[in-house]
Amino acid sequence: MDELLKPALYRAEGTTAVPQRPALLGGECGACGYVFFPLQRYGCEKCGSLDLKPRDLSGAGSLLASARVHLHAGKGRVAPFTVGAIRLDDGPIVRTLIVEEAGPLAVGQRMATTLETATDAEGAPRLDLRFAPEA
Ligand SMILES: [Zn+2]
């Protein structure tokens, strides 16, 4: 299996709640319980506490919005592609790429993580996270 493109953000193994889908590596505030993604150490976005700990987030959620990008100025990605905002079942909202074969998308539909082969800056194959409609 290829290495992950961004191993600080996700892992191939799922969580206990959603074992078959790659987990996202988020965090939780020890003071107020706020759950966030990605993990950061600057302080809780809700209460400011520095008591932050890693928390694995299940790779499942609901689609809030999506957009098909037909023109993209960045060099890292070739249009067209689809981006979406997904509210994870564990709370945080993530902005993410959606698999090309997803077909028509509807707000509120169930989405789940999957790993797809991409390439890193040097062109080597790496697995990168996407969301796909839940089968
Ligand atoms: Zn907090």
What was the pLDDT predicted at 50?
Answer: 98
Q: Which one-letter DSSP state was computed for residue 13? A: S
Ligand 1 centroid from CA 28, angstroms: 8
Ligand 1 centroid from CA 29, angstroms: 5
Ligand 1 centroid from CA 36, angstroms: 10
Percentage of the chain surpassing pLDDT 90?
A: 87
Cα-atom radius of gyration of the chain, to the nearest Å?
A: 15
What was the pLDDT predicted at 30?
Answer: 98
Domain ranges across the chain: 10-133
Give pLDDT tens digits for 62-78. 999 999 999 998 877 88
Q: Phi, psi (5° rounding) for residue 102?
A: -65, -30
Is the pLDDT at 83 greater than 80? The verdict is: yes
Mean pLDDT of 36-60: 97
Q: How confident is the model at residue 1 (pLDDT cuts 50, 70, 90)?
A: low
The partner residues of 97 in beta bridges, in order of sequence, read 83
Ligand 1 centroid from CA 25, angstroms: 17
**Cα–Cα distance measured from residue 128 to residue 23, given in angstroms and rounded to the nearest whole number:** 12
Give every CB contact of residue 107 below 8 A, 6+ residues apart in sequence.
Answer: 63, 64, 65
Tell me the whole-structure pTM to 2 decimals: 0.91
In order, the DSSP letters of 64-115 are: EEEEEE-----SS-PSPEEEEEEEETTS-EEEEEE-GGG-S--TT-EEEEEE
Q: How many residues does the structure list for the chain?
A: 135
Give pLDDT tens digits for 92-103. 999 999 999 988
Do residues 23 and 58 make contact, with C-beta atoms less than 8 angstroms apart?
A: yes
Ligand 1 centroid from CA 24, angstroms: 19
The partner residues of 68 in beta bridges, in order of sequence, read 82
**Cα–Cα distance measured from residue 132 to residue 114, given in angstroms and rounded to the nearest whole number:** 7
Is the pLDDT at 121 greater than 90? The verdict is: no
- In Å, how far from its chain's centre is CA 8? 12
